[in-house]
């Protein structure tokens, strides 16, 4: 890969209508963290089993390019990893806020699993 490439990129499958929305929200969050990241979300085919088989909203996140020496150095730091984790967390909150108002999401503190309750 060309060392000039940088920035996170989202991949999604069209087997769930929420996937594209989730991918776009997450890409927008990564663009805020990584100035100059103008990457577009990408639709995958059936080659990515986890995306193809998952019926829940899902995506694959590539956080950066190890072929870019500057990005490789950043990706190796705990501080940047924390920023990436917070960016993903914030993107998930943004996505969950687009859900119907009668849906309530909770997370298990130990496992991190998300649960939805519809009232």
pLDDT digits (tens, 9 = 90+) for 35-48: 999 999 999 999 99
The conformation of residue 87, written as its DSSP 8-state character, comes to: H
Q: Which residues pair with 114 in a beta bridge?
A: 107
12-16, 17-21, 46-50, 54-58: which has the minimum mean pLDDT?
54-58
Q: What ranges do the domains of the chain cover?
A: 9-118
Reply yes or no on whether the pLDDT at 27 is more than 80: yes
Q: Which two tokens stand for residue 38?
A: 């103008």
Query: Regarding predicted confidence, which is higher, 20 or 98?
Result: 20
* Angstrom distance (rounded) from CA 45 to CA 14: 8
DSSP-assigned letters across all residues of 5-57: --S-EEEE-TTSHHHHHHHHHHHHHHHHHSTT--PPPEE--SS-HHHHH--SS
CA dist 82 and 11 (Å) reads 22
- Classified as helix, coil or strand, 94 is helix
Instruction: Please check the confidence at residue 56 and state whether its pLDDT lies above 90.
Output: no
Please, what is the average pLDDT of the chain?
89
Per the model's pLDDT, the better-predicted residue between 103 and 80 turns out to be: 80
């Amino acid at each position: 890969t060309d060392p000039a490439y940088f920035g996170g990129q989202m991949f999604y499958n069209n087997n769930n209508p929420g996937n594209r929305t989730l991918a776009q929200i997450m890409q927008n969050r990564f663009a805020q963290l990584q100035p100059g990241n103008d990457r577009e979300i990408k639709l995958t085919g059936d080659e990515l089993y986890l995306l193809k088989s998952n019926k829940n909203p899902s995506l694959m996140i590539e956080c950066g390019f190890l072929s870019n020496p500057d990005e490789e150095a950043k990706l190796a730091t705990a501080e940047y990893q924390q920023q990436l984790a917070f960016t993903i967390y914030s993107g998930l909150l943004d996505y969950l806020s687009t859900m119907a108002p009668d849906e309530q999401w909770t997370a298990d503190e130990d496992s991190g699993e998300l649960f939805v309750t519809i009232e």
